[in-house]
Amino acid sequence: MKHVIVGTAGHIDHGKTTLIKALTGRETDTLKEEKDRGISINLGFTFFDLPSGRRAGIIDVPGHEKFVKNMLAGVSSVDVVILVIAADEGIMPQTEEHFEILQLLNVKKGIIALTKADLVDDEWIEMMKEDVQERFKGTFLEDSPIIPVSSKTKMGIDNLISILEEYTEEVEAKDTEGHFRLPVDRVFTVSGFGTVVTGTIISGRVKEGDIVTIYPSNAQGKIRTIQVHEENVTIAEAGQRCALNISGVKKDDVKRGDVISIEHVMEPSMIIDSKLYHIKSAEKPIENRQRLRLYHGTSEILCRVVILDKEELKPGEEAYVQLRLEAPLTSQRNDRFVLRTYSPMHTIAGGTIIEPVAKKAKRFNETYIDELKVKEEGKAGSLIENTVKNISGSFPTVFDILKALGKNEQFIEDNLKVLVDEGVLIKLSSLDKAIYIHKDFLKKKREEIENILEKFYKENPLKAGMPKEEIKAKVFGKSLKQKNYDEVMSLLEEREVIKQINNLIALYSFQVKYTKEQQNMKNAIIREFKQGEYTPPKYEDLSKNEKDKKNFKMVYDSLIDNGDLIKLTDDVVFSSEHYEKSKELVVNFINENGGITPSDGRDMLKSSRKYVVTLFEHFDTIKLTKRLEDKRILF
């Protein structure tokens, strides 16, 4: 079902609240002060049923200039606005400011109600209509109906309801499939129930029993009950005003401006990137680093405007800006906002959020501005690619990408698959969730590995490669899981960038090259090990007569690295030939005799107990054998 919110706007004492009462039969001014002074201070909420049976929520906003921030909190979620203009006074200052705000927030549908029509004659009404038509020419209200009404005599009320019926039918349905998001506009406690928050759901749905997170504090609670239009329901959807009774949360844990959503999908930020429009009627330019008031959803936050692509922003101009905030904002890409001057307060600008979680950027940085243009363009593939490119270093999951996008991307997994198929992104599997990295990130890491290995070979020309874990620490740090690191290395091996030798990483094309002297050392070492068979020589004995001990050690270590020698402990090393042969002999002996003891091994290999026990313990470690009392059996 399509859910619709109707809101009012207009100058103080032009009859907004009285008109709503005439439409619905309900009073939206509930505070004693409101009733005593005869003006709306806070937001008022009610509903009414249209002739079709569709129920529309109604938000009544205050008209006094002192309460524009309350007006902004209400009007940010409306689908259709009724701009109220008193027929006996015409367009007034707050009419103008409210209208500017409606435009900045991209409200698309509106009806103009000329209230108090019973106080003027028909000729005056026609003159007022002409004035209104002229004022709103070229705006979203240009072709809107202008309806004279009287809340006192009920003149024009039926006509207004009929047009509301038509307009609410044309309203675009809200995103009920996205993740749940509700900006809080009121918080109170109910005896016996606890904390209750109200607001308009702007995306997704919420149901009884859901666990929700309150941003930016990250406090968590459970939805106990839900009310929509004063009725208990089990589920509420985007486009509906609702009251949520949340258990596990105190009243002081929530305030107007907070956002209620689900865990992990939102991220508060102190910096946002946006496209800003400075209204034509403003008296002077916006200066770089000017302090302003930001209104987003139901929140008001002080900020500094850093203009990225201009020296200053003149009235009627647009610019890419960073808003550096004095308190965290929880927002998403494409959210609208309004800026007002710090003091005295006047509405001067508004715009669209491009990057809800931004980092400090330098002014006139062309690369950064180009990235903002790509994000602003809004093509899903480009946005997702650019987002993954920027956060590949954190090895993001789908949820991380969603959070960084700052919006609900309905087909994100389909778009990710296309980008993976095209080779733009690389998907790494994981035990819990897949992660994604950009091809440029992999290219950068490949180049880092190549540079590290090339430097390593200059210092260690006879080393086959670097330890695999040392490269992981240098290139990826602790942020990449071992399983995913192994995948990255295997991928680079498939692409013939590297090769893996035991626990070493080598450049794919690298071959150890020995000098003539080193080759002679290599041959002599291998000859000694072959002659020693299962009683291999010690390094100290091999090197004692060598003059160039440094070179000899390099050759000896290279034979271990490339697998010609197998190192079991610091002082027990076998030739690969005799190591493999010993495995074969042990397996055959166990198969024939049911087990093997160190004495059996010593006799079979014609070796000493020291070497045999070291071999057997090694075979236990690699799970070739296992010890059973005084003998080994196959694992």
Domain count, the chain: 4
What is d(CA 199, CA 258) in angstroms, rounded to the nearest whole number? 10
Q: Do residues 163 and 189 both lie within one domain?
A: no
Predicted confidence at residue 196, as pLDDT, reads 92
pLDDT tens for 74-129 read 566 688 999 999 999 999 988 898 888 888 888 889 999 999 999 999 999 999 99
Single out the residue in 370, 401, 429 at which a domain terminates: 370
Boundary (domain end) residue, out of 143, 170, 197? 170
Do 226 and 291 belong to one domain? no
Those residues whose C-beta lies under 8 Å from the C-beta of residue 94, and which sit 6 or more positions away, are 10, 11, 12, 63, 64, 65, 68
- Per-residue pLDDT at 44 exceeds 80: no
Q: Looking at the structure, do residues 287 and 313 belong to the same domain, yes or no?
A: yes
- CA 635 – CA 629 distance, rounded (Å): 14
Same domain assignment for residues 211 and 139: no
In a domain, 495, yes or no: no
Q: Cβ contacts of residue 193 below 8 Å, gap of 6+? A: 224, 225, 245
DSSP string across 554-621: HHHHHHHHTTSEEEEETTEEEEHHHHHHHHHHHHHHHHHHS-B-HHHHHHHHT--HHHHHHHHHHHHH
Q: Is residue 429 part of a domain?
A: no
Please check whether residues 323 and 292 belong to one and the same domain: yes
User: Quick check: is 516 in a domain?
Assistant: no
Please tell me whether residues 289 and 310 are part of one structural domain: yes
Q: How confident is the model at residue 449 (pLDDT cuts 50, 70, 90)?
A: very high
Which of 170, 199, 224 is at the close of a domain? Answer: 170
Verify that 589 and 609 share a domain, yes or no.
Answer: yes
List the CATH number of the domain containing 150.
Answer: 3.40.50.300
For residues 118 and 195, membership in a common domain is answered with no
For 589-623, the pLDDT digits (tens) are 999 999 999 999 999 999 999 999 999 999 999 99
Kindly provide the residue ranges of all beta strands, DSSP E only, lying in 210-346, ordered along the sequence. Answer: 211-215, 219-228, 231-233, 235-237, 241-247, 259-261, 269-278, 286-287, 290-296, 299-307, 312-313, 318-329, 336-341
DSSP assignment letter at 31: S
Residue 303, in any domain of the structure: yes
Q: Is residue 469 part of a domain?
A: no
Instruction: Categorize the per-residue pLDDT at 27 as very low, low, confident or very high, splitting at 50, 70 and 90.
Output: low
Q: 606: domain range?
A: 534-539+549-634
pTM for the model: 0.65
36 pLDDT band, cuts 50/70/90, is very low
Q: Indicate which CATH number applies to the domain containing 187.
A: 2.40.30.10
Residues 480-503 have a mean pLDDT of 87
Residues 156, 212: one domain?
Answer: no
CATH number at residue 582: 1.10.10.10
Residues 201 and 282 in one domain: no
Domain assignment present for residue 412? The answer is no
Residue 362 burial by CB count (10 A; 0-12/13-18/19+): exposed, middle or buried? exposed
Where does residue 36 rank: exposed (0-12), middle (13-18), buried (19+ CB within 10 A)?
exposed
**Cβ atoms < 10 Å from Cβ of 526:** 16
Residue 87 in domain: yes
Same domain, 325 and 296: yes
Same domain, 290 and 235: no
499 within domain boundaries: no
Q: What is the pLDDT of residue 590?
A: 94
Higher pLDDT, 67 or 135: 135
Please state the rounded mean pLDDT for residues 50-57.
Answer: 82
